[in-house]
Amino acid sequence: MRSVNATFNYTERVRIERDWVEFKAVSDSNGSTVELTRLKIDHLALPSDADIVVEVRTTRRRIRRFDAGTVGSPTFGVPFELNEPTADGVSIDLKVVKPNLAQKGKILAMCKGLRPLFGGHPESLLVIVPKDLGQRLWNLNFDPVSGPELELNSEFENPYMVWNNQLFLALTLPAIVKSIAIWLVENQDVGDDDPIGPVVKEWKLLFSRWGYPVSSQDGEDFDEVQHWADGVAGAFSGKYNYFSSVNSFFAVDGE
Amino acid sequence: MSKKTLCFFNSRGLIAFEKHLNLIRESGIWEPFDDILNDSTLTEKISRTVVDLPNHFSNRLECGKFFSDLFKKFEAELTAAGVDPHVHVGLWSWLSASMGEFLKGAGKEPVIGEAARWTFMPNDFGRYYRHLLAGPYMLFDMHSDQPELVEILLYNDVTKPNTAYVEQIASRPLIVDNPAAMELIHEMYFDYAKKKPRKSSVAKIAEAGDIRRFGVVFNQLALTWDVAGLSVDELRSILPKEFKPLFSQ
């Protein structure tokens, strides 16, 4: 049964819808950053001197905070260094906070659990490509140069915002990760001078961070590779607690 | 001290480790992990340099500091191997196996307990800190520049880590990763002279002013206040009066 308390807001704070906010994350060999790229809250009539505070929850179990200006003057496009190897898996809370002495630190408005957009940027590992797919929602393509590309139906109003939809992610990404794992085993020996070499290297690094180094697979035994790729997909789902996070989508009313 | 070359378990090694652990759990008889530690098909080397792994830590703080220093020393090798100690399951399982004699406890029968004590669960907010070795490291690393802020979480025995403080604080990132909140918790509940929590600051069920109530109240306050942006004085001022007797100021 759902918690009754969770449905009430006693705090007078205003809810900021996820569609009104957008962050971009970049992870590369120099580290990882997050930056605010869009914020549409003019209609909320919040004080223009109220502070905008961003809290990034990272996979290292840390909360990294940064200031993103004020309601009257938000700071866009300034990368905030996470001091961690990857921005993969981060979750972001954005708060609008009272700045003055009386009730300093009181939250006026908040948006929780945002995920940054990785797609559409050259730094992204999984490149998102809007494409005419008819009735299909998505397709995974392996480009000989850019590697795995997630093709999303271009009829989506904003294909990139699909990345902020938890249900979509939970239903599709484990399968995508499994396919990429198998592709990675097949391509693990390509050299750095191969066009796809740098992409393979980045994916290998990512899989190692998840505890599944591709070097453990020689690719000889089909069943073993499948089993290993299943393990990667399982670990990936566990990493984002997908079952727990989407279970409520399938709850029957009244239960 | 035992001399080892720093390694991690690969996916096969992890399976072998789990199987071995289950065997001990079911039989109640301790069997060292030597066979799987020495099997080169189950492990990947991080460095060729031999490291000294202690046979004992006097408390969790010492354990956390040891691994913090070790990983700083081998930072380049860890990065090259794609191993981030904050999230790498294979590394911590290998370390657990290597230090198994100590981690099983000193009693006649080995104490295995729940899986999270031996297998690091970095993606689970409610369990990551329960790993016997990774838990102290993660908590120490969070405040490595001010380790006195985590003493209440690390004062105790490595093999008996579960206190109400660890469970209530470490599972709440808004508290454990908040220097002001940690300072206030030490002021309220920790006896620095005795290096342990004050007596009677934990009841079996949540009581006014105890650490369990603190966790619940802090979560509620975080809905109204930007708690991570408040100073110690400001946090004191928003806590309800049940906590006031515990303030030193």
Nearest CA in chain B to A242: B123
Contact A211 B89 (CB under 8 A): yes
Structure tokens, B209: 């002013």
The reply to whether A107 touches chain B by the CB within 8 Å rule is yes
Angle ∠(A25,B175,B211) on CA atoms, nearest 5:
160
**What is the distance in angstroms between the Cα of B92 and the nearest Cα belonging to chain A?**
10
CB contacts, 8 Å: A215 with chain B: 10, 44
Q: How far is the C-alpha of A218 from the C-alpha of B193, rounded, in Å?
A: 57
Q: Is the pLDDT of residue A120 over 50?
A: no
CB contacts, 8 Å: A212 with chain B: 11
Inter-residue contact B171 to B126 (CB < 8 Å): yes
The per-residue pLDDT for range B58-75, each reduced to its tens digit, is 999 999 999 999 999 999
The reply to whether A212 touches chain B by the CB within 8 Å rule is yes
CB contacts, 8 Å: B227 with chain A: 105
Between residues A255 and B241, the one the model is more confident about: B241
Contact A215 B44 (CB under 8 A): yes
Q: Name the nearest CA neighbour of B138 among A61, A91, A81, A55.
A: A61
Inter-residue contact A134 to A85 (CB < 8 Å): no
Model pLDDT, residue A255 = 37
**Which residue numbers in chain B have pLDDT < 50?**
none
Nearest CA in chain A to B227: A105
Banded pLDDT at A245 (limits 50, 70, 90) = low
Nearest CA in chain A to B88: A211
Q: Name the nearest CA neighbour of A115 among A29, A37, A56.
A: A56
CB contacts, 8 Å: B173 with chain A: 57, 61-63
Q: How far is the C-alpha of A79 from the C-alpha of A99, rounded, in Å?
A: 23
Chain A to chain B Cβ contacts (< 8 Å):
91
Contact A63 B128 (CB under 8 A): no
Mean pLDDT of chain A: 81
**What is the distance in angstroms between the Cα of A11 and the nearest Cα belonging to chain B?**
6
**What CA–CA distances, in Å, run from A187 to A13, A144, A194, A198?**
51, 11, 11, 12
Which residue out of B10, B45, B123, B169 would a mutagenesis test of the A interface target, given it has the greatest number of A Cβ atoms within 10 Å?
A: B123
Q: How far is the C-alpha of A176 from the C-alpha of B180, rounded, in Å?
A: 42
Q: Is the pLDDT of residue A36 over 60?
A: yes
Q: Is the pLDDT of residue A27 over 80?
A: no
- CB contacts under 8 A, A 162-201 vs B, are none
Contact A55 B228 (CB under 8 A): yes
Q: Name the nearest CA neighbour of A60 among B86, B224, B137.
A: B86
Q: How far is the C-alpha of B149 from the C-alpha of B235, rounded, in Å?
A: 16
Contact B223 A60 (CB under 8 A): no
The per-residue pLDDT for range A121-150, each reduced to its tens digit, is 333 567 777 788 999 999 999 988 778 888
Structure tokens, A10: 């006693």
Strand A63-70 vs strand A91-97: parallel, antiparallel, or unpaired?
Answer: unpaired
Model pLDDT, residue B204 = 58
The per-residue pLDDT for range A82-110, each reduced to its tens digit, is 988 878 778 889 999 998 767 789 999 99
The per-residue pLDDT for range B159-204, each reduced to its tens digit, is 998 788 999 999 899 999 999 999 999 999 999 899 999 876 555 5
Contact A62 B81 (CB under 8 A): no
Model pLDDT, residue A123 = 38
Inter-residue contact A104 to A112 (CB < 8 Å): no
User: What is the share, in percent, of chain A residues with pLDDT greater than 90?
Assistant: 31
Contact A11 B223 (CB under 8 A): yes
Model pLDDT, residue A48 = 94
Compute the average pLDDT of residues A180-199: 86
Each as own residue / partner, the long-range contacts of residues A97-101 (CB below 8 Å, 24 or more positions apart, any chain) are: A97/A50, A97/A51, A97/A52, A97/A53, A97/B226, A97/B229, A98/A47, A98/A50, A98/A51, A99/A49, A99/A50, A99/A51, A99/A70, A100/A49
Q: Is the pLDDT of residue A119 over 50?
A: no
> What are the residues facing B44 on neighbouring strands?
B8
Which of B83, B128, B226 has the CB atom closest to A61's CB atom?
Answer: B128
Model pLDDT, residue A130 = 78
Q: What is the DSSP string of A226-252?
A: HHHHHHHHHHHHHHTTHHHHHGGGGPP
Q: Name the nearest CA neighbour of A98 among A49, A65, A55, A56.
A: A49
Q: Helix or strand or coil: residue A69?
A: strand
Q: Helix or strand or coil: residue B22?
A: helix
